Structure 1
Amino acid sequence: MLEQESTSPQRLDATQYTQGTLFQAEELARLSVEQVRWEQTTVQKSLDRVPERDPLMTTSGVPIKRVYLPQDLADLDYTRDLSLPGEYPYTRGVQPTMYRAKPWTMRMFAGFGTAEDTNARFKYLLQQGQTGLSTAFDMATLYGYDTDHPLAAGEFGKCGVAISSLADMEILFADLPLDKITTSMTINSPAAVIWAMYIVNAEKRGYRMDQLGGTLQNDILKEYTAQKEFLFPPEPSLRLVTDTIEFGTRHLPRWNTISISGYHIREAGATAVQELAFTLADGLTYVEAALARGLNIDEFAPRLSFFFDVHNDFFEEIAKFRAARRLWARLMRERYGAKDPRSWMLRCHAQTAGVSLTAQQAENNIVRTTIQALAGVLGGTNSLHTNSLDEALALPTEKAALIALRTQQILAHESGVTNTIDPLGGSYFVEALTNETEQAADDYLTRITELGGVLACIQNGFFQREIAESAYRYQQEIDTHRRIIVGVNDYTLDENVKVPTLYVDYEGQRTHLERLHRVRRERDQEAVRQTLAELRSVCEGSANTMPAIIEAVRAYATLGEIMDVFRAVFGDYMEPAIF
């Protein structure tokens, strides 16, 4: 029985309550007896008629009980474990009023073809009510090559926009109010260079650095674990990330210089618990690196941000977001002694699970995305991207992207989910699952520390093995029909349903290459040579690389030329073969 709010504290008998919890000890004992009676009589009669399915569990392998009761929360201390929204430990949300003041930021991921193509898509999405930009880059850009490099052949504009120089960045964000919108850029190894291009372009248009707001993904550690778009060894790569954190702390107070990303870890096959644990472990590694650089925890921690996947297991995903906020808050305050409440807050972007989308019966993906988006919202995400129905086939068409955006808008304006904060808070099931998720993630953090930390676990293959085993187990469940994927291993159709897809033509590539070649012809070659030489000198020393990168970008050195300096100094990285 819940403690009655109207009961005067003087009249309470403290011996009736378990220490610090909301529930009477006598009532918990009575309910336990009642539960046994219910299972032996009412439940058993039902099971005799209709047996239950195989033991049910979350995608992380956490068994799900038949029913959750107050005794499952016997140790719950409201102030310690939940508190009020906007207050430590932020389980119920990082903002006091959450979506009652304004909905989450609707930040649709976009990018394809030329800078002109993506600029037009940005403007279209903003006209349709999107409230923040999110930029996807093509494979050559993600690997730090100019589009005319031999290794870039066949990749132009296919998984995002191609950016080879400042000239492309100038077109990409042309006519957009960079002081009024926030921009996210999903790039990692070349993140510092792409960010420098954004900064220089903004300066050329009259914007100061302190006016710019946005997020740089810049999470190189998860590349070694999951996405594999690393270029250099982990140590110099971590240095470049730390350079951006330091530079942003000093000059761009509105910019999140890193988005610590569980999304790609989950897409590689990790469970929700692994996603949470490995992401926070990476975050702690960046914190340690910034502290070693001489920064104070409260200088930079408020600008750390996170990026999570939202998969199909509705309640586990909600619990994951709630557990993430609570665990991060405790780590920042108790382990690192952060004093600023903003340093305790885990602010995050979320994206629905691309890996859950199917090419078969692609229209079903609208339903999957809606369920996942709702889980992200009920979990308290700060911004959200909803995947398009055709993303298992190709980059989104304009129509598919609009449906995905409208999904968020319907949730925000028609469903009522924005009317109250953390509406599932207090649910016996959700609170118990939040506790279990937090404990399981914390156990992983302890294990990672015992194995020598994140860098050691990258080298010894711990993360890779854990993710591979989880992915294999999940696929086995599908192959043996223990997990149903509608339209894939059940409820299939014989006819081939065709979905219109986006086509990136080679005319755009010709336009892009002509601009790249013109830049190389018309720039001040001596300025390029000098700035690249200065960058190399800085890389060989220990100074922050960002000022030198900015000067090279300003001289119109290309992405590939700047990245080649890093390659020459830092070397390439080959992942150890781990079995």
Structure 2
Amino acid sequence: MDIKKFTTSSGIEIKEVYTTAPQMNELPGEFPYTRGIQKNMYRGKPWTMRQYAGFSTAEESNRRYHYLLSQGTMGLSVAFDLPTQIGYDSDHELAEGEVGKVGVAIDSLQDMEILFEGIQLKDITTSMTINATASILLAMYIALAKKQGANLSHISGTIQNDILKEYAARGTYIYPPTPSMRLITDVFEYCSKEVPKWNTISISGYHIREAGSTAVQELAFTLANGKTYLKAAIDKGLDINVFAKRLSFFFNCHNNFFEEIAKFRAARRMWANITSELGATDPGAQKLRFHTQTGGSTLTAQQPMNNIVRVTSQALAAVLGGTQSLHTNGYDEALSLPTEAAAKVALRTQQIIAYESGVTDTVDPLAGSFFVESLTNEIEAAAYAYINKIDAMGGSVKAIEQDYIQQEIAASAYEYQNQIESGEKVIVGVNRFAQTEEVATNVFRVDDSIRAMQIEKIARLKSTRNQAEVSVALEQLKEAARGKDNLMPYILTAVEKYATLGEIANTMRAVFGEY
């Protein structure tokens, strides 16, 4: 008789019982931070409860932000539509059918002003999920903060700004890898001087996982990308003890409860060692700070209320794993953008974990578990095997150019789908415990008419702005792109003259080309 083999999603075998654990002498807040980056973690203050939102027009998204803030969310997290992500204005022919669909349409500083109307940037932290056009959106945010009279040395937030995972997993890149890396290090350099509290990159494993990777691959490819960004900044002459303090990470949290907790613990330890090997001596530059989002790809359109349970389990794993910030998905997201009701349940899920469950009362409550400590070590070893292979290829850029990372993710996604279709992996309500359901009617849809509204706004803006000043600013940006200057001051000037996102992206396309 075959004995059933139990494994994690990454194929790590799970023993029937664990009777010993690796020696664990370290304390939270001490190198290598396996147990947490703060000595007292959530006893000091809870994680930032962030709800990802952004859809339709800036006016519509602004209303949702005010609603979320009224419900107790602590930070805003902005989703941008596809044209904004790939540097096209809403009036571009390729934007048709996509304006405002997966996020908010931002065509100029004017839209950014509307997006945050009635919200003081000095009083909140904002996370912006934007990569290829991150420098432009950050410039708009800085320009708005200046207009509000905020002290730029005090405003805080994060731009994702992680272009390597776009080539590997997501696809919203514009320029080739080399000029893209230049833009990223320009942001590092500019912010370290002008906006010192801003997190200049959120190195993202989330999309790698959503594309089908295992937990180990998510960890390995994300840290390998992080290592590449560190080296690029060091090569530019930046001090790792300064810029590495402003790097953050963005991880996914899927259903295998203990694997996810062990992944987060291993991530902190690995990053502490990677940064110190590259010369970081300041504890702030060695600490891996991360945001977590529950797994969008784990949500099912069938029996969508089951997703509340999935999201709760995933959120609890993220908290037990020591996250600094958390977004919980709406139960209806396999059907549409989240409704207001689903967004509220998602936020309440975090609040109940924080204030009712008791899991925040002590730091790293699972430390010393024979199983958790063993699994943390095994995940770390498996992730280093990938990183060493990528290092041997010459780093993440080379591994992406050779299609290595993409092929590894694709193979894992294929295997996972086969396991679902064979019934080896059970998805409740899909391949087991299914039932006949009525078609969902309470779904959230964005109307195509908003493109016409955005086009009208762009036309009005172009008729009222000083066109000569815009032309000069764009020409200066083009000249700077041909040279070696930091591009952020030129992008900021163009934004302040109300050049559109598309005009700025096209100016750089003319110099850098498209990938």
Q: Counterpart of 2:430?
A: 488
Residue among 275, 287, 294 paired with 1:332: 275
Determine if the alignment matches structure 1 residue 219 to structure 2 residue 162.
yes
Q: Counterpart of 1:30?
A: none
Q: Counterpart of 1:233?
A: 176
Residue among 78, 82, 85 paired with 2:24: 78
TM-score, length basis structure 1: 0.88
Letter in 1 for 2:253: V
When residues 176 and 103 of structure 1 are mapped into structure 2, their CA distance, relative to the original with a 3 A threshold, is: same
Shift of 1:381: 0.4
Contact 1:359/1:393, CA 8 A, preserved across alignment: yes
Flag structure 2 segments of 5+ consecutive residues without an equivalent. Answer: none
| Deviations 1:202-253, CA, capped at 9 Å, x for gaps | 1011113212100000000000000111111111101101110111111111
Q: Counterpart of 2:11?
A: 61
Distance in 1 (alpha carbons) for counterparts of 2:390 and 2:196: 32
Shift of 1:512: 2.5
TM-score, length basis structure 2: 0.98
Distance in 2 (alpha carbons) for counterparts of 1:77 and 1:63: 21
Shift of 1:52: 8.6
Distance in 2 (alpha carbons) for counterparts of 1:55 and 1:424: 24
Distance in 2 (alpha carbons) for counterparts of 1:274 and 1:381: 19
* Secondary structure of 2:51 counterpart: strand
Flag structure 1 segments of 5+ consecutive residues without an equivalent. Answer: 1-50, 574-579
Distance in 2 (alpha carbons) for counterparts of 1:430 and 1:382: 20
Determine if the alignment matches structure 1 residue 467 to structure 2 residue 417.
no
Q: Counterpart of 1:10?
A: none
Q: Counterpart of 2:338?
A: 396
Distance in 1 (alpha carbons) for counterparts of 2:179 and 2:342: 40
> Higher mean Cα deviation, 339-348 or 450-459?
450-459
Shift of 1:177: 1.9
When residues 52 and 419 of structure 1 are mapped into structure 2, their CA distance, relative to the original with a 3 A threshold, is: farther
- Following superposition of structure 1 onto structure 2, how do residues 15-414 of structure 1 map, counting pairs within 5 Å? 54-70=4-20, 73=21, 76-79=22-25, 83-333=26-276, 335-414=277-356
Contact 1:362/1:499, CA 8 A, preserved across alignment: no
Distance in 2 (alpha carbons) for counterparts of 1:245 and 1:151: 31
Contact 1:390/1:499, CA 8 A, preserved across alignment: no
Shift of 1:499: 5.2
Aligned residues with identical type, % of pairs: 57
Q: Counterpart of 1:416?
A: 358
Distance in 1 (alpha carbons) for counterparts of 2:183 and 2:500: 18
Distance in 1 (alpha carbons) for counterparts of 2:144 and 2:2: 61
Contact 2:24/2:368, CA 8 A, preserved across alignment: no
| Deviations 1:129-176, CA, capped at 9 Å, x for gaps | 100110000111111100010000011111000000000000101111
Q: Counterpart of 1:537?
A: 479
Distance in 1 (alpha carbons) for counterparts of 2:267 and 2:486: 31
Structure number with greater CO (CA < 8 Å, separation at least 6) is: 2
Shift of 1:53: 6.4
> Higher mean Cα deviation, 293-302 or 500-509?
500-509
Determine if the alignment matches structure 1 residue 553 to structure 2 residue 470.
no
| Deviations 1:491-540, CA, capped at 9 Å, x for gaps | 00023252511121245333322221111111000000000000000100
Letter in 1 for 2:456: E
Contact 1:248/1:255, CA 8 A, preserved across alignment: yes
Distance in 2 (alpha carbons) for counterparts of 1:189 and 1:264: 15
Contact 2:97/2:448, CA 8 A, preserved across alignment: no
RMSD value, Cα: 1.1
Distance in 2 (alpha carbons) for counterparts of 1:133 and 1:52: 51
Determine if the alignment matches structure 1 residue 570 to structure 2 residue 512.
yes
Q: Counterpart of 1:458?
A: 400
Letter in 1 for 2:510: A
Q: Counterpart of 1:436?
A: 378
Distance in 2 (alpha carbons) for counterparts of 1:507 and 1:223: 29
Contact 1:397/1:502, CA 8 A, preserved across alignment: yes
Distance in 2 (alpha carbons) for counterparts of 1:78 and 1:360: 43
* Pairs aligned (count): 515
Distance in 2 (alpha carbons) for counterparts of 1:506 and 1:325: 44
Shift of 1:482: 0.6
* Secondary structure of 1:158 counterpart: coil
Letter in 1 for 2:508: F
Contact 2:267/2:288, CA 8 A, preserved across alignment: yes
Determine if the alignment matches structure 1 residue 502 to structure 2 residue 502.
no
Distance in 2 (alpha carbons) for counterparts of 1:249 and 1:265: 28
| Deviations 1:448-478, CA, capped at 9 Å, x for gaps | 0112211111111000110000001111111
| Deviations 1:386-407, CA, capped at 9 Å, x for gaps | 0001111111111110110011
Q: Once superposed, which parts of structure 1, at least 4 consecutive aligned residues long, lie more than 6 Å away?
A: none
Distance in 2 (alpha carbons) for counterparts of 1:106 and 1:388: 14
When residues 52 and 370 of structure 1 are mapped into structure 2, their CA distance, relative to the original with a 3 A threshold, is: farther
Distance in 2 (alpha carbons) for counterparts of 1:138 and 1:144: 10
Contact 1:361/1:497, CA 8 A, preserved across alignment: no
Larger C-alpha radius of gyration, 1 or 2? Answer: 1
Letter in 2 for 1:60: S
Shift of 1:331: 1.3
Letter in 2 for 1:67: V
* Secondary structure of 1:309 counterpart: strand
Distance in 2 (alpha carbons) for counterparts of 1:558 and 1:53: 63
Distance in 1 (alpha carbons) for counterparts of 2:450 and 2:356: 40
Contact 2:91/2:451, CA 8 A, preserved across alignment: no
Distance in 1 (alpha carbons) for counterparts of 2:387 and 2:362: 33
Distance in 1 (alpha carbons) for counterparts of 2:149 and 2:123: 13
Residue among 415, 426, 441 paired with 2:368: 426
